[in-house]
Each structure stands twice: as C-alpha cells, then as structure tokens.
Amino acid sequence: MEQSGFDEALLTGPGGLVCEGAITNIGFIEDSRIVWPSAPMLAGITMQLIDRKFASAGIKPERAEIRLPGLGKYDGAFTCNSRGIAVVGQVDDAVMPVDARWMTMINKVYESVEWDKI
C-alpha cells in the first residue's frame, strides 16, 4: 500500500461498495452536504463526535450507498479517526478534488468538539 503511494486502505464490499478505511471512517462531500457510507462499518468515535457537531455548522450529514465507480460525482473526501481529520486526494485511480473551504469547515467542526473532563 505505502509502496504504491497510499496512506490507508479502503475497505469495500461487493460491487465496489465503500465501507470504511482500515483505521478510519471516510466521508464524502457532495454539493452542500457530508455523505457517510451506508454500508456496514464501525462508526468511530471521531466520526460520531463530528457528526453531531455538523448541525451547528448548518450541515445535516447523510448516509448513502457509495460505490467506487461513482466517486467522480463527489466534490471531495476526508478521513477521520482518533488522530484527526485528513483530506483524501485519491482513491485507486480516482483523483478526488480538494475543496479548501470544506476542509477548513470540517476541521473547525472537529476542533469545536468539547474534551471530556478527567
């Protein structure tokens, strides 16, 4: 994987059904919405936290069936896990556009998540 220039593996199902990354969740940007795969996946803590916070940014996250052959319709993609948010620049041969405005907004949502008091 890294020898081919990729940082993460994308787990897929039959017909190229997008599920999640090996250690991340993946979200897609389409028009003015965030779309998470509706395929079986583990909803990670970071995904859950930012999913709840998107409403305060005026965004209602959605779930949809996402397939590898249809990635070209998305305006961008990002991954999230306990290490934070990262832009996705490419999935296999599909180059994903990077919208700096969206990534700034997603990072602001991530940074607005309150820390638990210990």
Tokens standing for 73?
A: 């319709």
Per the structure, how many domains does the chain have?
A: 1
Q: What is the pLDDT of residue 79?
A: 97
Do the domain assignments include residue 69?
Answer: yes
Q: What is the pLDDT of residue 1?
A: 47
Q: What is the CATH number of the domain that holds 71?
A: 3.20.10.10
Say if residues 19 and 26 touch (Cβ distance below 8 Å).
no
Do the domain assignments include residue 116?
Answer: no
Tell me which residue range forms the domain holding 28.
Answer: 2-111
Please, what is the Cα angle at 5 between 18 and 100, to 5 degrees? Answer: 70
Q: What is the pLDDT of residue 91?
A: 93
Look at the pTM and tell me if it is higher than 0.85. yes
Do the domain assignments include residue 70?
Answer: yes
Neighbour-count burial of 103, counting CB atoms closer than 10 A to its CB (0-12 exposed, 13-18 middle, 19+ buried): middle
Do the domain assignments include residue 118?
Answer: no
Q: What is the pLDDT of residue 76?
A: 95
Q: What is the pLDDT of residue 27?
A: 97
Q: What is the pLDDT of residue 66?
A: 97
CA 5 to chain centre: 19
Do the domain assignments include residue 12?
Answer: yes
Mean pLDDT for each 10-residue chunk of the chain (118 residues)?
A: 67 96 96 93 94 89 96 95 94 90 94 90
Do the domain assignments include residue 117?
Answer: no
Say if residues 38 and 53 touch (Cβ distance below 8 Å).
no
Contacts of residue 77, defined as CB under 8 A and 6 or more positions apart, other chains included, come to: 26, 27, 28, 29, 71, 87, 88, 91, 96
Q: What is the pLDDT of residue 102?
A: 92
Q: What is the pLDDT of residue 6?
A: 63
